[in-house]
């Protein structure tokens, strides 16, 4: 297998994806996708690779790329070798593997070595002939080590021959630069070497080591998506045209789709929807967006958009305008636009029809993704879910529940993709509180009186409703510092939400719908998120479903972070004494399980 080719093709795909989201892609990008196949087969020289990297990541944009590219890296696409590295017990463990396999990542000339004392560890290797290639190799190592040791990991010094600094690396690293004449040297504190990795899995390591030479093929979905990118008018795409682009007859193409259980119309709608959101949030008028996307008229565009998104094109555009001009927080739009796509395994799980979701299928899918598996095993080991699972089957089938796994996957994806850019000190606390919200609802109010659709919708609102915390605490959010100050000063989570709304004009629930729209979620959940932004004037009684959801969020985030009396947290709600007791017991058990 061409491990080096797969490594670089994944980086090229990440760059192409980021260029698209930054709005700097051009007609050449489709051509570059054709080059990816050559890379995967190892049919390239370093000179060709360097030229491609500089074209995709020109100097004028390197700082912009360096800031967010780490979130676009899909380690699982970088070959089994890289996935093996990400499944390591700690950095030392990864360096042991890298010491044997470095040529596939650092080049055949590298002569990689590691020296260490009690204070400092130094990685040293011979660079290739092109500086830009060396910069990307160093960037990858920094991303890998942060994955293993945590986002606070950093090099202390960086030495790359003939380079005094790197725009690509400077945005991600605070390390000092030293002049080097011959070799690349990356130094860091030795204490990081044995920092346990959250993603370590012995069983996955054994599996990957045993199957390291297994061939991997580009999935059909990926190739179809690549074809979609070749036209500026996605609404005019037809299956026969895609088949021709893939060098197949339409009947052969449709047969492949059926064999892979892939919905062509579903894929195309998601592609059109993604482009629609980008245009509307960027301020493009609805008529112009319809024309740019290739729709015959505005009406057909609006009908298609509302069917998929649950809100009208005009509503989304108005939201974009509001964010763009209110108190300078227009960059929230940019943050959303630059969100990386969901990891392949999680997207596959979300795309799978409910009737096909079996324990065996879900386990087989998650086993291929060491990061996702680590999240599942960690959360399922909480005491509140029962005795610790011995394997993935028990974690999903007994502790977390197969019916909940798709919801949890979205939270895990957000944590995986956005932790490195989150200014909040304890990212795990945020995701834990999201999970606790659903547990509180189940214990205090129960889902028994709800039908299947209502249960699904409320679970999504409980688990996804506060995901936009990752947006307002994002490095690139202009008011991230202010949001952190509000968090520290607010007495309750409800108070925090109100102050964020008052100061910055942001409803947390509405902002979450932007994230879900970016990731292809449809209709109902986005409608209900916006309803959570409104008072419950149209609902009677003191315990409307929206009030219960907000109450669970308030209790979960407040009681987990602040020593507040539960009765004080409830405010004007009229929970019974037994419900208060259940809340206290559930929170106490939860806190013991995360201690």
- The pLDDT of residue 213 is 39
Query: What is the CA 174 to chain-centroid distance, rounded?
Result: 24
More reliable by pLDDT, 420 or 172: 172
The number of angstroms, rounded, from the C-alpha of 469 to the middle of its chain's C-alpha atoms is: 14
- C-alpha separations of 339 from 32, 222, 248, 418 in Å: 22, 18, 33, 8
pLDDT in tens, 455-497: 888 998 999 899 999 988 988 787 888 899 999 988 889 999 9
pLDDT tens profile 222-255: 788 888 878 878 999 999 999 999 888 988 898 8
Q: Under 8 Å CB-to-CB from 264, ≥6 apart: which residues? A: 224, 239, 242, 254, 257
* Three-state helix/strand/coil letters over 203-215: HHHHHHHHCCCCC
**Residue 568 DSSP SS3:** helix
Looking at residue 160, its pLDDT comes to 92
Higher pLDDT, 2 or 307: 307
Burial 439-466 (b: 16+ CB within 10 A, else e): bbbebbbeeeeeeeeeebbbbbbbbbbb
426 CB contacts (<8 Å, ≥6 apart)?
none
3-state secondary structure 425-460: CCHHHHHHHHHHHHHHHHHHCCCCCCCHHHHHHHHH
Write the CB contacts of 436 (distance below 8 Å, at least 6 apart in sequence).
556, 560, 587, 590
Strands of the sheet containing 184-189, edge to edge, are: 113-116, 120-125, 184-189, 157-159, 176-178
Domains of the chain: 3-210 (no CATH), 220-325 (1.10.10.60), 344-594 (1.10.3210.10)
Q: Given this model, what pLDDT does residue 205 score? A: 64
Weakest mean pLDDT among 203-217, 364-378, 567-581: 203-217
User: Around Cβ 244, how many Cβ atoms within 10 Å?
Assistant: 14
Q: How many angstroms separate the CA atoms of 437 and 550, rounded? A: 9
Nearby residues of 443 by Cβ (< 8 Å), 6 or more positions away: 582, 583, 586
Reduced to 3 states (helix: H, G, I; strand: E, B; else coil), residue 306 is: helix
Please spell the DSSP secondary structure of 88-157, one letter per residue.
-SSHHHHHHHHHHHTHHHH-TT---EEEE-SSEEEEEE---S-HHHHHHHHHHHHHHHHHHH-TT---SE
First to last CA, the chain: 44
pTM above 0.75, yes or no: no
Q: Does residue 442 surpass a pLDDT of 80?
A: yes
Among left, alpha and beta (phi > 0; psi -120 to 50; other), residue 505 is: left
Distances (CA, A) of 385 to 366, 407, 445: 19, 16, 18
Angle between helices 46-56 and 28-40 (to 10 degrees): 150
Q: What is the mean pLDDT of residues 37-44?
A: 69
What are 500-521's pLDDT values in tens digits?
A: 988 887 888 888 888 887 787 7
């Amino acid at each position: 297998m061409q491990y080096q080719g797969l490594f670089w093709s994944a980086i090229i795909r990440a760059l192409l994806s980021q260029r698209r989201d930054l709005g700097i892609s051009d007609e050449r990008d489709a051509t570059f996708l054709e080059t990816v196949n050559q890379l995967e087969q190892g049919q390239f020289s370093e000179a060709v690779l360097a030229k491609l990297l500089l074209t995709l990541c020109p100097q004028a944009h390197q700082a912009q790329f360096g800031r967010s590219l780490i979130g676009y890296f899909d380690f699982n696409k970088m070959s089994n070798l890289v996935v093996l590295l990400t499944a390591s017990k700690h950095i030392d463990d990864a360096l042991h593997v890298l010491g044997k396999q470095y040529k596939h990542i650092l080049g055949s000339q590298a002569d990689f070595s590691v020296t260490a004392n009690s204070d400092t560890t130094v990685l040293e290797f011979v660079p290739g002939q092109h500086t830009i290639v060396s910069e990307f190799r160093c960037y990858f190592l920094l991303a890998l080590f942060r994955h293993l040791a945590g986002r606070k990991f950093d090099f202390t010094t960086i030495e790359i021959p003939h380079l005094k600094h790197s725009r690509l690396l400077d945005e991600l690293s605070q390390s000092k630069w030293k002049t080097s004449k011959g070799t690349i040297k990356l130094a860091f504190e030795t204490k990081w070497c044995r920092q346990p990795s959250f993603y370590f899995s012995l069983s996955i390591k054994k599996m990957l080591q045993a199957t390291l030479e297994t061939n991997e093929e580009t999935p059909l979905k990926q190739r179809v998506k690549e074809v979609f990118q070749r036209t500026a008018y996605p609404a005019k795409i037809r299956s026969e045209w895609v088949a021709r682009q893939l060098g197949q007859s339409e009947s052969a193409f449709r047969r492949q789709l059926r064999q892979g259980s892939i919905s062509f119309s579903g894929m195309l709608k998601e592609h059109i929807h993604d482009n629609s959101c980008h245009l509307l949030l960027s301020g493009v008028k609805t008529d112009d967006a319809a024309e740019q996307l290739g729709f015959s008229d505005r009406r057909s565009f609006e009908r298609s958009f509302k069917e998929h998104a649950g809100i009208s094109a005009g509503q989304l555009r108005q939201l974009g305008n509001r964010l763009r001009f209110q108190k300078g927080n227009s960059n929230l739009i940019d943050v959303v636009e630059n969100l990386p796509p969901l990891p392949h395994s999680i997207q596959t799980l979300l795309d799978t029809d409910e009737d096909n979701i079996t324990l065996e299928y879900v386990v087989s899918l998650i086993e291929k993704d060491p990061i996702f598996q680590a999240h599942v095993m960690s959360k399922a080991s909480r005491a509140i879910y029962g005795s610790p699972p011995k394997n993935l089957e028990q974690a999903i089938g007994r502790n977390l529940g197969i019916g909940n796994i798709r919801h949890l996957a979205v939270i895990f994806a957000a944590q995986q993709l956005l932790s490195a850019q989150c200014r909040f000190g304890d990212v795990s606390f945020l995701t834990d509180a999201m999970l606790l919200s659903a547990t509180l609802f189940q214990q205090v109010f129960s889902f028994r009186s709800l039908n299947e659709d209502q249960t699904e919708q409320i679970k999504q609102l409980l688990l996804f409703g506060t995901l936009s915390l990752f947006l307002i605490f994002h490095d690139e959010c202009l008011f991230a510092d202010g949001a952190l100050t509000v968090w520290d000063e607010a007495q309750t989570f409800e108070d925090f939400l109100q102050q964020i709304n008052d100061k910055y004009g942001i409803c947390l629930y509405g902002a979450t719908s932007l994230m879900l729209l970016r990731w292809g979620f449809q209709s109902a959940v986005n409608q209900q998120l916006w309803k959570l932004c409104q008072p419950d004037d149209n609902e009677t009684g003191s315990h409307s479903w929206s009030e219960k959801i907000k109450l669970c969020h308030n209790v979960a985030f407040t009681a987990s972070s602040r020593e507040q009396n539960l009765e004080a947290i409830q405010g004007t709600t009229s929970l019974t004494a037994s419900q208060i007791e259940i809340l206290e017991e559930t929170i106490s058990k939860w806190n013991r399980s995360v201690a």
